[in-house]
Structure 1
């Protein structure tokens, strides 16, 4: 993979939903980041993601899966110029996921009956996933093959994850009669409407739950209250607006739904550890 990515950074590829990541140094501290639903496989090095009080370590032996968008505290633990941190991120296509589940239900391990699943897990990296990943990477520098054969291999990779020991955690978010699916639907709604005024009572109604049940299940999936989750989504969106769209802090705050610049700055500093202006001077691309 070093040949595909000779310098540190994040690289999109012609293989659908595949991103390559390289870092030549460890991170001195954890960094807030939001991951969309994805499969994150480390080829070399080690990284940790913290959600609430739980740490998820993924390395050459274990891969990370997110079923829903989640705000994490991430840190690269092992990396150097001589032995860089190398990883691939495969964004989960919901349509492909549902299609695979319908096609493969009889061959997949039965899900347990627990009412709700956490939206993140780490699983052992098997030889089947390793072999599929090797083929995927072989298509990266072949544009024609990447779009066709690469797409087929991505679907195969997703099947192996679904068929794995913890694949039922991912499948739970595709079943409409499960609380996990209802919470995932609400999270997707928040992702599309975070700039608007959102009431928790309306979210609970959308999930067809009482407010107390909704709070319980939402926190079980995200390790966060609905209000805190919405706030974190808004702050990350504002950060992206400043970092990639060159918006001022005031414009970014207003764009994501803040009416008070001082409140935005205060909550931004609480999440990211520095003020918006200082963060823009120090920021690098998230890995």
Structure 2
């Protein structure tokens, strides 16, 4: 059970992320698989999508909602998202104490490589969760500090950074949520088979995918594929693809200035009216109104 007592922040994590995390929302680091997070306001529960990642929060709090479960990640708890997944999230930050965090992309190839070198693992019989949080221990916290310190200069990032990322992933594999990551590297597990399909949909979201072919790719019958897909993502394959497209379209409108029609075409919609209906159903506002709201919020907080 998650301890919801007052978070105990790591001062070094806060200092490093105060230096490294720029702007609002996500910002890039010197390594492509590492991104910083910063928010100086409270963001109500709203739909978001993350890649497969480990998220460490130094200050502030995020509350995710997935399949009816509340998932807290804050200075006491880290998040593991084993597969690319849309969910809902509330962000707690302020001008005086902004939310500060770091997201580290998880690659199945790295997980497999680390597992080959590990002599023991734990909790093999536990059911994997697509998304969950656990208590942040000292070993993972200090590994994250070492990663952030390596990202302060270009040479340290190039030489030391990749090994620091490996260390963070290794610490998570050793912890209570390691079983979900381990199954990503197990080619014959249902979770691993579904995760490969999810990663494909996450990258190749503009195509119209045939569910029968996706099931064949996962080595399952259509009915078994549907059941396992829903167990991991809490949605059908087509609904998952729709959510990914809508999130990508929102990013295009907010960050690249695309209008709704252009964004709809770029993410794979053939009907602008269908895009507008489905966008409003997910985000609660039409495409133009939602994009304008988010752009104004970014300007106000810049």
TM-score (norm 1): 0.91
Native 8 Å contact 1:118 1:220 kept in 2: no
Native 8 Å contact 2:254 2:291 kept in 1: yes
Match of 1:172 in 2: 183
Native 8 Å contact 1:118 1:222 kept in 2: no
**Residue 22 to residue 232, structure 1, CA distance change in 2 (3 Å):** same
Q: Distance in 2 between matches of 1:223 and 1:127?
A: 33
Q: Which runs of 4+ in 1 moved over 4 A?
A: 6-9
1:120 equivalent among 123, 131, 156: 131
The answer to whether the aligner puts 1:94 opposite 2:100 as a matched pair is no
Q: Distance in 2 between matches of 1:127 and 1:151?
A: 21
1:54-73 counterparts in 2 under 5 A? Answer: 54-73=69-88
Match of 2:4 in 1: none
Match of 1:23 in 2: 39
Q: Distance in 2 between matches of 1:85 and 1:47?
A: 8
Q: CA deviation at 1:243?
A: 2.5
Deviation per CA, 1:96-145, whole angstroms, max 9, x where unpaired? 222111111x222251175xx33112111111011111112222222211
2:56 equivalent among 41, 45, 48: 41
Deviation per CA, 1:137-159, whole angstroms, max 9, x where unpaired? 22222221122112211111110
Structure 1 stretches of 5 or more lacking a match? none
TM-score (norm 2): 0.87
Q: CA deviation at 1:254?
A: 2.0
Q: Distance in 2 between matches of 1:37 and 1:151?
A: 17
Q: CA deviation at 1:248?
A: 2.3
Q: Greater shift after overlay, 53-62 or 245-254?
A: 245-254
1:165-204 counterparts in 2 under 5 A? Answer: 165-204=176-215
Native 8 Å contact 2:111 2:181 kept in 1: no
1:250-269 counterparts in 2 under 5 A? Answer: 250-269=261-280
Match of 1:84 in 2: 98
Native 8 Å contact 1:62 1:123 kept in 2: yes
Structure 2 stretches of 5 or more lacking a match? 1-16
Match of 1:108 in 2: 121
Q: CA deviation at 1:276?
A: 0.8
Q: Distance in 1 between matches of 2:122 and 2:214?
A: 32
Native 8 Å contact 2:51 2:81 kept in 1: yes
Q: Distance in 2 between matches of 1:241 and 1:201?
A: 30
Q: Distance in 2 between matches of 1:9 and 1:25?
A: 10
**Residue 136 to residue 187, structure 1, CA distance change in 2 (3 Å):** same
Return the structure number with greater relative CO, CA threshold 8 A, min gap 6. Answer: 1
Native 8 Å contact 1:43 1:60 kept in 2: yes
Q: CA deviation at 1:161?
A: 0.2
Q: Distance in 1 between matches of 2:25 and 2:206?
A: 30
Deviation per CA, 1:263-286, whole angstroms, max 9, x where unpaired? 11000001111111111211157x
Q: Distance in 1 between matches of 2:220 and 2:47?
A: 30
Give the superposed CA RMSD: 1.8
